[in-house]
Structure 1
Amino acid sequence: MNHRVIDCLVNVHFGETPQQPKWMQAVREDYFKGPPSMYAPVELDRLLDEMDEQGVERAILMDSVAKPSVTARKFAEARPDRFSLTIGGMNLLRPMAALRELTAVVHDLPVSYAVVGPSFWGDGIYPPSDAVYYPLYTKCAELGLPLCLNTGIPGPPLPGEVQNPIHLDRVCVRFPELKLCMIHGADPWWDVAIRLLIKYRNLRLMTSAWSPKRLPESLLHYLRTRGREQIIFASDWPVLSQRRVIPEALALDLPDAVLDNYLYNNAKEFFFGERPADV
């Protein structure tokens, strides 16, 4: 059976930086054992060829308000039928200018969600329950824009405690209107993440940067049972290629309907659903 796929996190901006910072090199060399080409410039046709080969109908490309990706925006403009954007790079310590820019980008470009990595800014000292995030939560809820936050210990040598998913417990209580998604799995706190998914219907989990064959059985069991609408596929290409992770996903012991939800339907509903008419 053929399955349609939405890849909810693809990086085409790496090659725009002549020299990656040391922590990015560490991710490639020590964590993912990736080749030097992992951070090379990306050609549109090359990416589309891999997407077509693996049945990927749409991909969401990483972008930033602080450092806009020329490549991501060029791809989205050239093929709006295949690409949209996720926007990060918000300065939450000086939020007003960043949120004005986020609002403008959402109005002008095909943005599917906003993204923040708690370990990756502010010296990794602000958990998502901190009030410094509240302006962003309020703006995303107002726009009807899903927000993704990194959870789990990060691959780079950065502080990881702020990415414990338990910090989202208070967020979901205080912002029930916010469409919130944990990304990059939740290792080693998978059971905490699953418990939160059971508790909050506005919460999702994306398996970006995780090889499907390495996903814990507890998550796969939840996906087969109570979590059929809450687990979302992504590759984090080129960190993990679509040629690797999609065949691995297809090989999982999942019923066809569950696999369709994981690879396509859940992303379509969560990231491409209707937003408020006045946005």
Structure 2
Amino acid sequence: MPKVLDCLVNVHFGEREQPAWMLEVRDKYFKGPQSMYRQVDLAELIDEMDEQGVEKAILMYSIVKPSPTALKFVEEMPDRFALAVNGVDLLHPVSSLRELAALVHDLPVAYTTVGPSFWGDGMYPPTDAVYYPLYYKCAELGLPLCMNTGLPGPPIPGEVQNPIHLDRVCYRFPELKLCMIHGADPWWDVAIRLLIKYENLRLMTSAWSPKRLPDSLLHYMRTRGRDKVIFGSDWPVLPMRRLVPEALALDLPDDVRDNYLYRNAQEFFFGGRSAGGTAE
């Protein structure tokens, strides 16, 4: 079985009661089971990872509400887990970015993330200057930044997640390693055009079933985008047991499939290091 690096995994859902909009996403959008937001058992997660060939998983971790589960998993199995940090306060960035830099220094942080539709009432597109301190700090640290693109599942404004906004961001910050996450529906063609245009840009298919990816993206992956598209599940919203077999069934050459499932993420998020953090 090919190696897999799952770049977006949630282990914090069971730590606290979920807000109403998260319950609505589970019930109406993903039509998931009630158990989707239960507390995660480490052994159960590792079993699913081993079964599907997932060598390493990147766990979501918030500055605002740190996840003890994510920290515990990283501490117990540093060879299997890294962190993705969200929650930077864009309106009061100085102390928040200092905290981000400290976390990057002290913990195995693979990237930081922000969802334009999920803060500030969805009124700030990525071109707004409120993001610039974050862009600068990520470029300075060499830390990849993942940004939600595509219309979000919850009933909140989505226009700010049109990937066209990243055209100006990539132009102004060519040193920034930037990745679109959660696909780019319904703006896939815009996203693909931007991937062709900018060397520092990637796309992660987290929260998307591989069998539902558009033909245009698969064609791009087979041709000019062999090193540009990255796998992520958004587990447990979409389980690895479903997504990895779907990814393996895609009409992709073996090397393109391996890039998608492992090598592209290894290079982009770990700088050419192996998934365990050691030089290859």
Category of TM-score, reference length = shorter chain: over 0.9
The alignment status of 1:68 with 2:95, answered yes or no, reads: no
Which residue matches 2:208? 210
Q: Which 5+ residue runs of structure 1 have no aligned equivalent?
A: none
- Indicate yes or no: 2:12 matched with 1:9: no
Q: Deviation at 1:175?
A: 0.2
List aligned pairs for 1:46-195, cutoff 5 A: 46-195=44-193
Q: Distance in 2 between matches of 1:158 and 1:227?
A: 31
Distance in 2 (alpha carbons) for counterparts of 1:89 and 1:156: 18
Could you tell me how far 1:23 is from its partner in structure 2? 0.6
Match of 2:254 in 1: 256
User: Per-residue displacement from partner, 1:212-233 (whole Å, max 9, x unpaired)?
Assistant: 0000000000000000000000
For 2:257 and 2:21, how far apart are their aligned partners in 1? 34
Q: Counterpart of 2:7 in 1: which secondary structure?
A: strand
Sequence identity percentage: 76
Deviation per CA, 1:76-122: give whole Å up to 9, x if none.
11100000000001110000111010000000000000000000001
SS at match of 1:234: coil
Whether the aligned pair in 1 keeps the contact of 2:9 and 2:60 (CA below 8 Å) is yes
* Counterpart secondary structure, 1:165: coil
Mapped partners of 1:202, 1:177: distance in 2: 7
Q: Is the 8 A contact 2:111 2:143 kept in 1?
A: yes
Cα distance between partner residues in 1 of 2:104 and 2:63: 11
Residue identity matched to 1:44: L
TM-fit CA distance, 1:274:
6.2
SS in 1 for 2:89: coil
Tell me how far apart the structure 2 counterparts of residues 76 and 137 of structure 1 sit (CA, whole Å). Answer: 26
Distance 1:43 1:158 in 2: 32
CA distance in 2, matches of 1:260, 1:137: 30
Letter in 2 for 1:48: I
Q: Could you list the runs of 5+ residues in structure 2 that have no partner in the other structure?
A: 274-280
| Matching residue's letter, 1:63 | Y
| TM-score (norm. length: structure 2) | 0.97
- Paired with 2:152 and 2:95, the residues of 1 have a C-alpha distance of 28
Q: Confirm or deny: 8 A CA contact 2:14 2:40 kept in the other structure.
A: yes
1:229 aligns with 2:227: yes
AA aligned to 2:10 is: N
Distance in structure 2 (CA, Å) of the matches to 1:13 and 1:21: 13
Contact 2:266–2:272 (CA under 8 A) maintained in structure 1: no
Query: C-alpha distance in 1, partners of 2:91/2:206?
Result: 27
Separation (CA, whole Å) in 1 of partners of 2:174 and 2:71: 31
- Distance in 2, matches of 1:123 and 1:91, equals 14
Asked whether the 8 Å contact 2:180–2:202 carries over to 1, the reply is yes
* RMSD (Å) for aligned C-alpha atoms: 0.8
CA distance in 1, matches of 2:35, 2:99: 32
Superposed CA deviations along residues 229-273 of structure 1, whole A, max 9, x for unmatched, are 000000000000000000000000000000000000000000001
Distance 2:179 2:133 in 1: 17
SS at match of 1:61: strand
- Aligned match of 2:277: none
